[in-house]
């Protein structure tokens, strides 16, 4: 049963030829949403008729919502998919969504609005213009753009058309730009064509529409009439709408992700009634017997602590008890893919970067899973040949998830270890081994992978920022991402003990070069694996348990990992992974035997 549905509200009718193409676009959007959000998704189509006399039948937005609620949908997102909504369509959208909310108070219904000046749409339309110029072998400075819009919307909608035209004019480097409406008098398209005659340019007419249809038909007839009246305009051309251009799908994908994230943000900040409102709490630490205010708690840095912090100020107070003050901090994040709640998200990163007293340098490598697909790659041997695409996917991940905005806001830097390795910018292994001294490694080839840029920062505190997502995939395992190969299958080895030995060697290498600190966070939620869980990833289904600022912290990685592992139900004395850790890195009885909060432990298991 699918309870989450996205509705594309289009200005098309099922009788139009483009309806089938829109259905194909909806199927692609569904695949993206399921892969990114990790939950079963349905994407349906609905009509926003252009006139009050039009009746799209079963595809009317209100009837589509009724049908979906009848199919037990409990969460609906409505995305208008037309670039130029007229007044009737905008009114229909508002009235139908409002009426549905009143009919179904138990169903959560969300919607957004269309911004035709979105950068992806501007790129798409500009590409249409530049391709037309290339086909005609015309220079942009000898051409003009006439944007053709409906014009039957409100003043703000018509102003959007002017903004879109201006952006296209600048991006394409055209000589002149203008707007003409087919259903509004100022300026009416026929008159706009007449004014274009004053400038002897190669004029291109661009419909503000995704698919061919009524707007294009009107524009085509007016242009043909104008060309018959003015033969010198014979070379003017009406461009084809972009149709199923990839940028439009990316625009829809971005809106899906933003709507989902906004919904989750509203849930996170929703204030319960006074009856159910928990007492607000500053940062606190688990003492072994109860939660203690930060200022009263005793922390043994190597043993580590279980703590809670809801904001950067509370987290900063706790970090100051364990981390040294420094101008810079290295932070190994967890960015393996899009599965909701399993990677270091923007909220968690924002919380940490706001708490650190110095600038952060974020560390991660490329992976075979942090991409949107669409390109066949031999991840074992052929990734460097697709380096540009892999890098683009990395940039897209940061943009889509909101991480790029957080990084920019805090002035952090991002060092991708795979890029350094591809550039041949890793420190020679003999220099790394010389710096490590008598440190022994079971996998000495790992010393080949330390970026030179990191060697220049020797002595800088390095924080392994891991997620609560399983008893062994924590701060120590997070260092595995510092192996620069995008596909690390050979390093996983035949069993968990081999994997543990690789992680221990990485801890020995980086622990010999930098002061290591472990921070395992569940600032807003923790992963609880469940075959029937709501969310899905390549490792299986899972649920997200709300955790109220939870994290573990230690000097060195072991204390934070053992505490987080035990909170998730692991008996570390009976674990093949932790047997290797104890043998290679050691630990104290403190973290292995500390009494833990039973209610919290029960919620995570």
302 touches 342 (CB < 8 A): no
Using a pLDDT cut of 70, give the percent of the chain over it: 97
Closest to 16 (Cα-Cα) out of 71, 53, 56: 56
Residue 598 has pLDDT above 90, yes or no: no
**CATH, domain 119-238, list 3.40.50.1400, 3.30.470.20, 3.40.640.10, 1.20.120.1200:** 3.40.50.1400
For residue range 234-276, list pLDDT tens digits in order. 999 999 999 999 889 989 998 998 888 777 666 554 444 444 4
Q: Which residues, including other chains, have CB under 8 Å from residue 571's CB and lie 6 or more apart?
A: none
Q: Mean pLDDT of all residues in the chain? A: 89
Tokens, residue 456: 């220049």
Cα 381 from Cα 418, distance rounded (Å): 14
The confidence band for 498, taking pLDDT boundaries of 50, 70 and 90, is: very high
For residue range 510-519, list pLDDT tens digits in order. 999 999 999 9
Residue 493 has pLDDT above 90, yes or no: no
Cα 352 from Cα 211, distance rounded (Å): 45
Question: Would you say the pTM of this structure is higher than 0.85?
Answer: no
**CATH, domain 302-375+395-604, list 3.40.50, 1.10.1060, 3.30.300, 1.10.10:** 3.40.50
The confidence band for 601, taking pLDDT boundaries of 50, 70 and 90, is: confident
The confidence band for 369, taking pLDDT boundaries of 50, 70 and 90, is: confident
Cα 253 from Cα 430, distance rounded (Å): 47
| Helix runs in 270-382, H state only | 312-319, 346-355
**CATH, domain 4-114, list 3.40.1350, 3.40.50, 3.30.70, 1.10.287:** 3.40.50
Closest to 417 (Cα-Cα) out of 511, 489, 333: 333
520 touches 466 (CB < 8 A): yes
For residue range 7-34, list pLDDT tens digits in order. 999 999 888 989 999 999 999 999 988 8
What is the pLDDT at residue 267? Answer: 59
Cα 481 from Cα 501, distance rounded (Å): 15
**Is-same-fold flag (4-114; 119-238)?**
yes
What is the pLDDT at residue 276? Answer: 47
Using a pLDDT cut of 90, give the percent of the chain over it: 58
Residue 593 has pLDDT above 90, yes or no: no
What is the pLDDT at residue 271? Answer: 43
For residue range 391-406, list pLDDT tens digits in order. 888 999 999 889 999 9
What is the pLDDT at residue 385? Answer: 81
3-class SS string, 56-110: CHHHEHHHHHHHHHHCCCCEEEEEECCCCCCHHHHHHHHHHHHHHHHHCCCCEEE
What is the pLDDT at residue 381? Answer: 76
Average pLDDT, stretch 523-527? 91
Average pLDDT, stretch 472-485? 94
What is the pLDDT at residue 278? Answer: 47
For residue range 180-239, list pLDDT tens digits in order. 999 998 899 999 999 999 998 999 999 999 999 899 999 999 999 999 999 999 999 999
Residue 495 has pLDDT above 50, yes or no: yes
Closest to 182 (Cα-Cα) out of 220, 215, 145, 225: 215
- Answer with the residue of higher pLDDT: 286 or 282: 286
For residue range 123-176, list pLDDT tens digits in order. 899 989 999 998 988 899 999 999 999 999 888 889 999 999 999 998 888 999
What is the pLDDT at residue 30? Answer: 92
- Answer with the residue of higher pLDDT: 90 or 206: 206
For residue range 556-586, list pLDDT tens digits in order. 999 999 999 999 988 888 888 999 999 999 8
Tokens, residue 599: 């209610």
207 touches 215 (CB < 8 A): yes
What is the pLDDT at residue 22? Answer: 94
Q: Which residues, including other chains, have CB under 8 Å from residue 590's CB and lie 6 or more apart?
A: 300, 302, 303, 559
What is the pLDDT at residue 492? Answer: 84
For residue range 374-384, list pLDDT tens digits in order. 777 877 777 87
What is the pLDDT at residue 280? Answer: 44
What is the pLDDT at residue 133? Answer: 92
Average pLDDT, stretch 318-347? 93
What is the pLDDT at residue 272? Answer: 47
Q: Which residues of 410-440 are buried (b: 16+ CB within 10 A; e: fewer)?
A: bebebbbbbbbbbeeebbeeeebbebbeeee
Average pLDDT, stretch 85-89? 89
| Helix runs in 372-525, H state only | 387-401, 403-410, 417-422, 429-436, 452-455, 475-478, 489-492, 496-513
What is the pLDDT at residue 216? Answer: 94
Residue 155 φ/ψ, nearest 5 degrees:
-55, -35
User: What is the residue extent of each domain of the chain?
Assistant: 4-114, 119-238, 302-375+395-604
Average pLDDT, stretch 533-553? 85
For residue 375, whether the previous peptide bond is cis, meaning omega lies within 30 degrees of 0, is no
Cα 203 from Cα 239, distance rounded (Å): 10
């Amino acid at each position: 049963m699918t309870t989450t549905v996205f509705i594309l509200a289009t200005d098309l009718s099922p009788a139009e030829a483009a309806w089938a193409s829109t259905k194909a676009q909806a199927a692609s959007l569904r695949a993206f949403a399921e892969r990114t959000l990790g939950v079963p998704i349905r994407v349906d189509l609905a009509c926003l008729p252009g006139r009050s006399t039009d009746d799209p039948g079963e595809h009317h937005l209100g009837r589509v919502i009724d049908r979906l609620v009848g199919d037990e949908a409990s969460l609906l997102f409505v995305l208008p998919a037309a670039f130029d909504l007229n007044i009737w369509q905008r009114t229909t959208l508002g009235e139908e969504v409002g009426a549905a909310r009143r009919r179904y108070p138990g169903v959560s219904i969300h919607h957004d609005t269309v911004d035709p000046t979105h950068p992806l749409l501007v790129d798409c339309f500009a590409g249409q213009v530049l391709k037309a110029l290339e086909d005609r072998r015309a220079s942009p400075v000898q051409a003009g753009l006439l944007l053709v819009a409906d014009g039957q919307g409100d003043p703000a909608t018509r102003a959007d058309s002017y903004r879109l035209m201006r952006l296209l004019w600048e991006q394409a480097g055209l000589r002149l730009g203008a707007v003409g409406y087919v259903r509004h008098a100022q300026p009416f398209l026929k008159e706009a064509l007449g004014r274009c005659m004053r400038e002897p340019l190669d004029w291109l007419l661009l419909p503000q529409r995704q698919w061919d249809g009524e707007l294009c038909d009107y524009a085509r007839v007016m242009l043909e009439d104008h060309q018959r009246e003015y033969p010198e305009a014979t070379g003017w051309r009406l461009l084809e709408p972009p149709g199923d251009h990839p940028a439009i799908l990316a625009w829809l994908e971005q809106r899906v992700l933003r709507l989902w994230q906004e919904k989750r943000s509203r849930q996170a900040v929703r204030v319960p009634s006074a009856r159910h409102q928990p007492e607000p709490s500053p940062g606190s630490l688990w003492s072994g017997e109860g939660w203690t205010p930060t200022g009263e708690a005793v922390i043994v840095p190597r043993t580590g602590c279980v703590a809670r912090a809801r904001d950067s100020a509370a987290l900063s107070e706790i970090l100051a008890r364990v981390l040294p003050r420094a101008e810079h901090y290295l932070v190994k994040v967890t960015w393996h893919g899009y599965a909701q709640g399993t990677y270091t998200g923007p909220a968690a990163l924002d919380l940490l970067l706001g708490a650190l007293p110095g600038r952060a340098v974020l560390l991660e490598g490329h992976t075979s899973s942090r991409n949107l697909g669409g390109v066949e790659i031999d991840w074992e041997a052929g990734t460097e040949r697709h380096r540009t695409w892999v890098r683009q996917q990395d940039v897209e991940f940061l943009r889509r998830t909101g991480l790029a905005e957080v990084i920019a806001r805090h002035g952090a830097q991002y060092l991708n270890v795979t890029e350094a390795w591809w550039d041949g910018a890793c420190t020679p292994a003999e220099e790394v081994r010389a710096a490590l001294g008598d440190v022994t490694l079971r996998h000495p080839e790992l010393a080949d992978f330390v970026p030179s840029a990191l060697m220049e920062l020797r002595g800088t505190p390095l924080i392994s920022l891991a997620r609560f997502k399983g008893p062994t995939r924590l701060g120590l395992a997070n260092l595995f991402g510092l192996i620069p190969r995008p596909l690390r299958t050979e390093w996983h080895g035949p069993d968990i003990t081999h994997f543990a030995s690789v992680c221990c060697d990485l801890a020995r290498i980086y622990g010999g070069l930098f002061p290591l600190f472990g921070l395992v966070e569940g600032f807003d939620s923790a992963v609880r694996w469940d075959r029937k869980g709501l969310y899905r990833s390549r490792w299986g289904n899972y649920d997200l348990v709300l955790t109220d600022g939870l994290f573990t912290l230690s000097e060195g990685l072991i204390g934070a990992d053992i505490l987080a592992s035990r909170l998730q139900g692991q008996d570390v004395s009976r674990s093949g992974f932790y047997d290797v850790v104890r043998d290679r890195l050691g630990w104290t009885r403190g973290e292995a035997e500390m009494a833990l909060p039973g209610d919290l432990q029960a919620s995570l298991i």
